[in-house]
Chain A
Amino acid sequence: MTGWIVLGVLVLIIALVVIYTIVIYNGFIAMKNSIERDWSNIDVMLKQRYDELPKLIKVCEGYMQHEQQTLEAVIKARSAVSNAGSGNQKLAAQNALSETLKSLFMVVERYPDLKADKGFRQLSNRITELEDQIADRRELVNSAVTIYNTRLEQFPDVIIARLFNFTSRQLWKIDAAHRQDVEVNFSRS
């Protein structure tokens, strides 16, 4: 009789362990795919921003005859995005594009007529909106990656992770240059 009891308990425990393993394994797969999806969703926003840029430049060109350098920088940064190969290159190109856009919007301050242009206002609002959404989605990716990496190190998930070779993912990191203090000079040259 004792043998049967031991056998029954063992079967029960094994069943529990197997099901729990399945739950954890499926969880890892879902998280992994979710991170991929979140990255792709950023690409969707980046693509939308990319598509809006020629229209913005077109509107700006009419007003900013003397700012060809700034506009060319935006066009160049946009081309760099489409030519970028690896993930890191793409990231760098996207960051560069964001920077040139910021410069463009700063320069626009000097052109009240352009600022008052309805088309420009709509486009700049749209691009700002996209920038905000991109930032939110990057935060989301980081949250998803953090949860995933935490799970990888937690018990009992760590066992399943090692058994099935789940490896940790990289958080989205900002360029080192963006971490530096901004130099502010109040003295007039």
Chain B
Amino acid sequence: MSVDAYLIVDQRSSPPPEMPALLKELASRYELDGYSCRQLLLGQTEALLTKGPEPRLKKIKQTLVNYDFCCHLITPSPLKFAPFILTRVEFNANELKFFGREKSLIVPKDSKLLIFLAELSGSLVERTLSQILSSHRYTGNSENSGLPLKKWQRIILQGRPVLDIYLLDEKGKPAGAVRAFPGKFDHQSLGERATLSTNQNLLKLIELTQEYAGHHRVDMRFGISALPGANLQTAKADDLGALKKNLRSLTHYAWLQADIDRQREQPTPDSESETIASAATALLTAMQPELATNLPLQKEIISELTSGVDAATATPETETSGTNRSQLPTPPDLQHHSTWNSPRTIIGISIFVGIALLVKFGNSTSWLGPMIAKSFSSGAMSGLLAAFFFIGGFRRLQLKRLIQNTPTSKIRSIAMGRVEVHGNARRQYALFSPMTNIACIYYRLVRYKRNSKKDWVVSSITSSGHIPFWIEDETGRVSIDPSAATVKAGHRQESMAEGSTAFGGFSSPDEKWVEEMIYDGALVYVLGEAQVKRTDRAPRLQRRAEALRRIKQDSQKLSGYDTNKDGRIDESEWQTARDDVDEQLLHEDLSQSDQQKRQEDQVVIGKPRHRGTPFVIAETASEAKLTDRYTLATAFFFAAAGLASGLSLWLLLQS
């Protein structure tokens, strides 16, 4: 089986003047999505532009080179090993030795090395980059100076750092690797370099390694480069699964970097000259959805890595096919929601009005004052609040149970009616989040302004809640119309975006925005109603009647059915005509079925026709995680309801 080649581009920090022509050429000649290409071509790291057969990629490469883009055509090497965990080091004048529990790695003087300092939790990278992203719009911000190396190093050390050192052979292929975690190796073995700080010891280890390297490169871009299989996902401290995934992504990233370095025509830049990206485009994949497969434990990773590579590369493959399949159409006009009718606003307004009335008329002698005061003191208000929380709690409980009780359908065979599907979301339109410019299938942007009392007030809400997208599993894909759905986005970004006038007029510290989004490629759960898509194709019965009418009107055809030549079409002769029409229609349907075999052309999952039936779209790795969220919400609502009921009862008894 042939392995797909990768076309990796060195991104440019600003778009060249001939960028539109390049994008047009990429779209027309190679059917690459212009929007995605633009994002992948801009930045300061590397990005996988596309993958596929080598001859095709060579042509694309030539086109890019014509436009002064530097690119690398590589055939990714299979991962043969993963780094072992460092326990101690030994060194003498000629060599540096790394020891693990069972393995060791000897680095002779003047060796070729690749050193990776990476942050595993992903959250720090995400948070820092969100600031950069704020000032980097789709139009390309060439003024971004990027983060200096030292600052980036500091950011990494603030999180969960890890150090990977790869020894390269003469051909530049990895010959051995070691992985160091701060505090997990014998720092005394560093000799005089040892310090009391675990993080400093990690830096000292880098220094020591650099002394033994003839040619080396320190790479800190894991998480911000857009390379396949090298995604850094946000992982909580206790989420060992996610951390292990990030470790495997790091291994994959390191092997890819070795491949890229081999392909570089010019020597790699020295570590001191590097700066870290103004990385809006790079973040595209840095925060892409997690891989669907579970990762093996670190100790078992070596034996399973080779097979795991397929899984790791599977995601980028589908990503590429998803975004670059063809030129995606421009999305329909945006939806602007009025701000007053969102549930949160209504609750907020109700509470505000209640308190304002109490303050204003609480001590008033008019009839309104005592009535309001009485409603609070008698416990009626807290009783209402309790009822509200009870209803909210039960609604969530009901939804949770509905989600649990509905089996997940395979997309290939979904039946009409209520269905539950789970798979990767893909864009139908070239949709990008308006503030962070990330390819997404859904976003919701809320803008806030400070009022005269310096409180934040919603000034506008914009969402892509009416723009359809695909959801695909291993059997096929189906269209989702998210109109009127309850959408639970997995990512949320908030920024003041001070002074960035490129963001449509945000130039004041009195303005901020909150953006929620579901990335293109994210794992999404959908509970909705499958319906037949409205098509222009007439129903079969109608087409049959039409065809028979045409035969009746065509005397030549009609005489063809007059087998006994009596000048009349009797019942049996007409039956023959009917059979012929049926057969013809069947062939039409079958050829249509070949062309429209996939669900995408026939079915759409959308809002249920019956009121009150839920329609949920949620970014989640699994159904269980989603129901856990509903369990928590239910518990919160019931606890709040219990407290409010207790208060109400107490007030009632007091009065």
Contacts and interface: CB of A to CB of B under 8 A. Distances in A.
B593 A132 contact: no
A113 B586 CA distance: 21
Contact of A122 (B390, B407, B591): B591
Contacts of A34: 405-406, 418
B127 to A, nearest CB: 40
B397 A23 contact: yes
B475 A144 contact: no
Contact of A27 (B402, B412, B591, B594): B402
Interface stretch (A87-95, A103-111, A135-143): A135-143
Contacts of B406: 34
Contacts of B652: 4, 8
Interface residues on B, range: 20 to 34
A21 to B, nearest CB: 12
A4 B652 CA distance: 10
A4 B415 contact: no
A184 interface: no
B475 A55 contact: no
Contacts of A119: 587, 590
B407 A129 contact: no
Nearest to A7: B649
A132 B590 contact: no
B590 A123 contact: yes
A1 B583 CA distance: 84
A136 B649 contact: no
Contact of A140 (B397, B407, B586): B407
A140 B412 contact: no
Contacts of A20: 397
A37 B405 contact: no
Nearest to A15: B390
A149 to B, nearest CB: 12
B597 interface: yes
Contact of B407 (A16, A19, A27, A143): A143
Given A27-B405, A133-B413, A1 B397 contact: no
A147 B410 CA distance: 17
Contacts of B594: 122, 125
B271 interface: no
A27 B401 contact: yes
Contacts of B407: 140, 143-144, 147
Contact of A151 (B394, B405, B593): B405
B586 A55 contact: yes
A53 interface: no
Nearest to A40: B415
B575 interface: no
B392 to A, nearest CB: 13
Contacts of A147: 404-405, 407
Contacts of B590: 119, 122-123, 126
Interface residues of A, number: 38
Given A122-B591, A137-B413, A30 B653 contact: no
Nearest to A42: B415
A55 B589 CA distance: 13
A67 B511 CA distance: 79
A177 interface: no
A38 B401 contact: no
Interface in B373-421: 390, 394, 397-398, 401-402, 404-410, 412-413, 415, 417-418
Given A119-B587, A132-B412, A126 B649 contact: no
B645 interface: yes
A8 B649 contact: yes
A37 B417 CA distance: 9
A176 interface: no
A140 B402 CA distance: 16
Interface in B150-204: none
Interface in B584-616: 586-587, 590-591, 593-594, 597
A41 interface: yes
Interface string B616-653: 00000000000000000000000000000100010011
Interface in A17-65: 19-20, 23-24, 26-27, 30-31, 34, 37-38, 41, 44, 55
Contacts of B394: 19, 23
A12 interface: yes
A79 B189 CA distance: 83
Nearest to B395: A23
Contacts of A30: 402, 405
Contacts of A37: 415, 417
A136 B413 contact: yes
A136 B405 contact: no
B415 A137 contact: yes
Nearest to A125: B594
B578 to A, nearest CB: 15
Interface string B476-498: 00000000000000000000000
Contacts of A151: 405
A132 B413 contact: yes
B403 to A, nearest CB: 11
Contacts of A55: 583, 586
A5 interface: yes
B402 A133 contact: no
Contacts of A137: 413, 415
26 contacts: A1-B653, A4-B652, A5-B649, A5-B653, A8-B649, A20-B397, A23-B398, A23-B401, A27-B401, A37-B415, A37-B417, A41-B415, A55-B586, A119-B590, A122-B591, A123-B590, A129-B593, A136-B409, A136-B410, A140-B409, A140-B410, A140-B413, A143-B407, A144-B407, A147-B405, A147-B407
Report the 4 A-B pairs with minimum CB-CB distance, sorted nearest first: A143-B407, A136-B413, A122-B590, A133-B413
Given A24-B401, A26-B398, 13 more contacts: A1-B653, A4-B652, A9-B649, A12-B645, A23-B397, A34-B406, A37-B417, A55-B586, A122-B587, A126-B590, A129-B593, A129-B597, A136-B412
